[in-house]
Copies of this chain bind each other. A is one copy, B any other.
């Protein structure tokens, strides 16, 4: 209930802000997110060379309005942050509709929707508006296009925080915050991230968890510029969180480019999700994490995916479509998946030479006798079944096989092996052995 309230409130504060990949709207949004979870901000100066890219200047917009010859206001950034071309240059001109046309953006197929259009890397100005409105604009007379915008040197900003775990092996959770006034794509990712942080903070963590929020693409490239070495060393699995609201009941996992990470291999053993293979043709920041020079084990979790709903990148993408309930359901599913992933990892038998002497540790019947060794009899609470799990876990925990592999050998889930894992850890016979480095 409190989680629902918190997310709802956070949504309402963030939604109206005019964000872009840089500038005051993005900075304000990051500060608000920092109230919900601790975020360290790293800033990269405009003009910094980042791999094949250059960090753009800050975008400062103080107003954007398109007024018709009839005095009517056809677009106004004060009404909705979508109504100005994102990252637009400034303009103050009177011009005919014909000359205005190349600077207008609408969606004929969705006549009531204002599209979300950007122009980061080519100087341009423009307005976005519903196609129905566009069709009604008078052909005669002069329009007044006025955009008060400046591109100034400043910084691109990234927020991040780490929850340390028992192992330095790391799970990355990352999302992006640059989109203005869009709900599913993309306030859903940042909101789900705050709730996951809140939960993970409070439970045992075998893995270390790293949370990152940035402007899409150029932001993740900057983060890689600063932290790729650590990620190469420690990362076991990464998840780009995106489009986690909407009506689809199941989450959908897109594998990493390498396709062999712990999660890539076992996700369908651990959760009831749909699967997409990696593609460089669309998607989000996983395209940077998975580029061939990095090739990090970063997948993507989504629900109602970009491009697969009417409201994608336009004004129909609101809280009514996304719903806070859908976000909380996503938080539940991801939390469960991460718990299972901790059980599914590699462990190491600490007494691997011969079988450990189980009876001296209370883990073995002290008399041999013609007992029933049929595993299928009494369910998993059965004492023999527990012993079998102990023997299987010890035998195959060589630091190579994952516990999910062992569970497959046992014909059970990793959660069902948890009692044996816990008992062996307590007895000092087993240790978590994930070390990161990409598998």
Residues of A bordering B, CB below 8 Å: 50-54, 105, 107, 115, 117-119, 121-122, 124, 217, 221, 224, 228, 257, 280-282, 287-288, 290-295, 307, 312-314, 349, 351-357, 359-360, 366-370, 373, 388, 391-392, 394-398
Structural contact, B121 and A353, CB atoms closer than 8 A: no
Structural contact, A368 and B313, CB atoms closer than 8 A: yes
Taken together, the copies of this chain in the complex come to 3
CB-defined A-B contacts under 8 Å, sample of 30: A50-B354, A51-B353, A52-B356, A52-B357, A53-B357, A115-B369, A117-B367, A117-B368, A118-B368, A119-B366, A121-B357, A122-B367, A221-B354, A280-B392, A280-B394, A281-B391, A281-B392, A282-B373, A288-B354, A288-B355, A290-B395, A292-B349, A292-B397, A292-B398, A293-B349, A293-B352, A293-B354, A294-B354, A295-B398, A314-B370
A294 to B121, CA, bound (A): 54
Instruction: Look across to chain B and name the residue whose beta carbon is closest to the beta carbon of A348.
Output: B292
- Contact residue among B287, B307, B314, B354 (Cβ-Cβ distance under 8 Å from A53): B354
A281 to B406, CA, bound (A): 14
Q: Knowing that A280-B395, A293-B349, A312-B370 touch, tell me 5 more A-B residue pairs with CB under 8 angstroms.
A: A51-B354, A224-B354, A287-B355, A292-B397, A293-B353
Structural contact, A355 and B395, CB atoms closer than 8 A: no
Quote the shortest CB–CB distance from A193 to chain B (angstroms).
22
Structural contact, B352 and A291, CB atoms closer than 8 A: yes
Instruction: Look across to chain B and name the residue whose beta carbon is closest to the beta carbon of A53.
Output: B357
Quote the shortest CB–CB distance from A256 to chain B (angstroms).
12
A221 to B353, CA, bound (A): 8
Quote the shortest CB–CB distance from A381 to chain B (angstroms).
18
Residues from chain B with a CB closer than 8 A to the CB of A224 are 353-354
A397 to B280, CA, bound (A): 12
- Contact residue among B295, B353, B360, B395 (Cβ-Cβ distance under 8 Å from A257): B395
Residues from chain B with a CB closer than 8 A to the CB of A370 are 107, 115, 312-314
A407 to B51, CA, bound (A): 27
List 5 tightest A-B contacts by C-beta distance, closest first.
A293-B352, A280-B395, A122-B366, A293-B353, A292-B398
A52 to B354, CA, bound (A): 8
Among A54, A118, A287, A354, max chain B CB count under 10 A is at A354
